[in-house]
Structure formats: C-alpha cells, structure tokens
A and B are shown apart, each in its own frame.
Chain A
Amino acid sequence: MTLSTMLSTMAIGMLRTFGVFSLTLIGSLPLGMVVALLKKSRFAVVRGFISAYISIIRGTPLMLQLLVWYFGPFYLFGMNIGGWRFPAVILGFVLNYAAYFAEIYRGGIESMPVGQYEAAEVLGYTHTQTFMRIILPQVIKRIMPSITNEVITLVKDTSLAFTLAYQEVFSLAKQISASQTSFMPFVIAGVFYFVANYAVEFAMSRIEKALDYYK
C-alpha cells in the first residue's frame, strides 16, 4: 500500500471521527445545560433522577456505556440492531459528555455570588432575565478553560468508538497497520489527533479572548 492510498483510506476514518466529534458537541453542550438546570429543579424526583444519571455516567467506563447502548436494545427488547451502530455511538457519547458538561455548568453557576441575584431582584429583573442576562454570560466566561479541557478529551475519546467496531480513524489505523505490517498508520493517526487538538486549542483561546470584553 502506498502512502497516498493509506492517507486517502484513513481520510475516510478522519471524516467519521470528525462526525462523531461534532455531533457529540452539538448534542451534549445544550443537553448539559438542561441537565445542570434540572439538577436545581424544585422537584425532588427530578433532582434524584438527574443525580443518579450523572453518578452512573461518571461512575462507569464510556467503553462499557457504548456496549450497553449498542447491544442493550437487543438484549432488553429483542430488537434487530442492524444499522444501529452509528446512532449508538452518538447516543453514548452525547449522554456521557452531557453529564460532564452539566457539572461544569453547575460549578460555574454556583460560583456566582448571591449578591448579584439580590441586586437583580432589586432592579426588577425576573428569574429568567437574571439568569439569561446577568448570570449566564459570566458563567460562560468562567467555565471556558474547563470546557476546552473536555473538548480536547473528546477528540481523543472518539477513538473509543472502535469498541463498537465503528470504522473511525483509530480502528482503521489498527486494521491497516495489521494488514500492511506497518507502524505508519499509527503515526498518521497520532498526527491527526494532535493537529485536531491544536486547532481546538487555537479556536478556544480565540473565543476566550473574544469573551474577555471587560479587559
């Protein structure tokens, strides 16, 4: 296999990896916020459910969760899982990352001094206005470094999709390395992950700077 064939074969895997990465972010960033807010719900049942969800997701390996999402529908309901591979990968990643993002959001929200809520109330802001216009913008600025951390971890975690034999860049690297008895595919995969993370770092630092409008 020539290097260019190897690269073009792995490029398909890189696209798939990018697909998992972006769909996970699109799903889990908003879902995390919903989870964080539900954890502060007035209803004890909702709070309990959310706490259990976060505990289970954070307390078990993502690899095992992926296996459960993929094979679970068959073992529980006897469903035919043909074609379920990719949805299961995305479902597993989104629900996993949402739990982590939720805790980051919660940390940010709870770090806001109570005086700000009191001041907003005195000025006549409603609860929603207070959250959307005063609290949330500050929270976002404050949690950006933690979010960047998670996003970088996600780039590398996408390789766990190989658990479900999803043919992303790492699975392909293993297979090509096997069939060609070459270490080159791993080098290519390594460079790919590094470059991807470098891009994430760059983009996130630009966003942080853009948000830093009071300095």
Chain B
Amino acid sequence: MLDRRDFLKGSAFLFAAPAIFGLAGCGSSSGSEAAAVTWDGKTFKHGFDLDYRPYSYLDDNGEIGGFDVELAQALCAMNGWEYVSVPFNWDAKDAELTAGSCDCIWSGFTINGREDDYLWSNPYSDNTQMIMVKADSGIATLDDLAGKKVGVQTATSAYDLLNDEEGQKALADTFASLEVYDTYTTAITDLKAGAVEALAIDVTRANEAIANDSSLVLLGEALGSEQYGIGFRKSDTELRDLVNAGLEALAADGTVATIAAKYPEIEEYITLGK
C-alpha cells in the first residue's frame, strides 16, 4: 500500500508541477532536494497526540496535560528552553517531524519495530499490548478470540503487532475481522456497545479505560511487550543527548517520581530512574 509520505509527496508534485517546470525553465537550481531540518537550540517543540491518555491529553481544566507533557515541560524549565506544544494527527506524525513543525514525537511512542526510523532517547516506560473485553463476554484466552470481531487503533503498536508476520498476524487471522479505529475512544465506545467483542490495546491505555468503567477486563495473556521512548530526527543528535541527560537529572532529583505519582495507572511501568 502507498505510504502516507509518498502519497503526500506525490500530491505535492502534482500540484506544484507547473511551478517546478517554471523554475527549471528559468534555469534555477532550487528543487525538491530537501535540506535537513534541525533543532534551533532554544525552543522545544513537543509533538504529540492530544488523544492519548494518560500520556498526553486535554485535562479536566481544558488544558494540555499528561505524563509526557508534564515531563517535557519540566525538562524545558530545567534547560531554559521555551516549551511549545504541537498537537498533531497521529497518522501525520512522520511528516510533522521531518518537516520541522515539531522537534520530537513524545506521546507514548513505541520504540520496538521502529528502531531504525528515528533517533531514539533512552526508553522511559515499559508497555504491554493486551486484549480488553467485557467481563461478561466469555472470552478468557487468546484462543477464544477465534471468529470474534476485534478492534484496534490505526498506526499503533498493537495494530502493527497484529499485522506483523513475526508478531501476532497468525492470531489476527483467526479473528472474524479486525476493525481499525481512528482513536481508542471510539473503539472503547464500540466495545461497550457490542459492535466489537475485544480490543487489542496498550495496557496503560486499557487501565485508564478500566478505571472509568469496571465492566471491562484484560485477558491474562499479553499480546506482546515493548518500550516507550522519544523519537527525534536522525540529524538531531545534540538534542537527543541533552534530553537523555536532562531526563536522568530529573529522575535523580525526584521530579519524575513526583509526576508519575499523579498517574497511578502507569506509575509502575515508568522505568526512568529505576
């Protein structure tokens, strides 16, 4: 399938073809050679999904919050950087990062399977993909999912896992169907309403949903496990090193533990400083 970036590039060329031919005609050499975008050293543009509780979301006061957001703000305060929030659409994250509207992807972002795609910080949180069902569904093991409708959010690690031959593709093939959602919020509503019978979901996101609705449960068996990190442009080694050092300092002085304590559903999974 056509990857989004190629699609964007293709459509950009389609639109700008007259302009490019015009430039070429004038003997200008400027063209599609993309200059490397790098961090400016002063502002820290934090790119994140505004719909990913409890890492980054709109809090009860209508302001951006979450573990990742608070940690990023603490990091900026310590380093004297200006914090700029850049909420983006999750499926456009690569284009946003490459094109420089943000300096990092930091939003419960899974390293595993993307090791070579970004310059990674040290992992700061563990995560496990689980299956969430309604308590009265009669589904108790992964084998029980055969012939069932299962939901997942697009462009998430659970989604990748279920589509990966070396991951859980074999299991996914036993499902009646795999329903792909834009957000877990919609997916969870559908699970409660019975439109799907199970969801493949990150354990932290699932715990958050279960805290709101006790009729949901997780299966004992995990689908897979992985680690969260911060993804940078490959050219931004300096920024990555500063962030790694900064996070260690924040772990050492107890700031990380203080922030983590505000998010009990993920506290035990935070590995920074442990």
Interface residues of A (CB under 8 A from B): 1, 5-6, 8-9, 52, 56, 60, 64-65, 67-68, 71-85, 162-165, 167, 172, 174-181
Contact = CB atoms under 8 A, between A and B. Distances in A.
Nearest to B186: A178
Contact of A74 (B34, B57, B183): B34
A14 B72 CA distance: 28
Contacts of A6: 62
A175 B62 CA distance: 10
A58 B35 CA distance: 32
Contacts of A164: 89
B87 A68 contact: no
Query: DSSP majority for the A interface?
Result: helix
A135 B60 CA distance: 57
Contacts of A174: 51, 183
A15 to B, nearest CB: 14
A74 B98 contact: yes
Contacts of A67: 8, 11, 92
Contacts of A180: 60
A76 B16 contact: yes
Which of A6, A165, A179 lies at the interface centre, i.e. has the most chain B CB atoms within 10 A of its CB? Answer: A179
Given A72-B15, A81-B99, 4 more contacts: A71-B8, A77-B30, A178-B183, A181-B185
A201 to B, nearest CB: 31
Contacts of B214: none
Nearest to A1: B60
Nearest to B38: A80
Contacts of B31: 76
B99 A71 contact: yes
Contacts of B11: 60, 64, 67-68
B257 interface: no
A82 to B, nearest CB: 5
B32 to A, nearest CB: 6
A52 B15 CA distance: 11
A167 B48 CA distance: 13
Given A76-B20, A179-B51, A165 B87 contact: yes
Given A74-B100, A84-B101, A178-B51, A1 B62 contact: yes
Contacts of B87: 165, 167, 175
Given A84-B101, A174-B51, A181 B183 contact: no
B185 A82 contact: no
A92 to B, nearest CB: 11
B89 to A, nearest CB: 5
A165 B92 contact: yes
B51 A71 contact: no
B62 A8 contact: yes
A81 B35 CA distance: 12
Nearest to A52: B18
B185 A178 contact: yes
A64 B8 CA distance: 8
Contacts of B12: 68, 71-72, 75-76
Contacts of A64: 11
Contacts of A178: 51, 53, 57-58, 183, 185
Residue in A73, A174, A176, A178 with the greatest tally of chain B CB atoms within 10 Å: A178
B8 A68 contact: yes
Nearest to B30: A77
Contacts of B101: 81-85
Contacts of A175: 50-51, 57-58, 87
B59 interface: yes
B195 interface: no
A56 B15 contact: yes
Nearest to B92: A165
B32 A75 contact: yes
A124 to B, nearest CB: 42
A75 B9 contact: yes
A64 B100 CA distance: 20
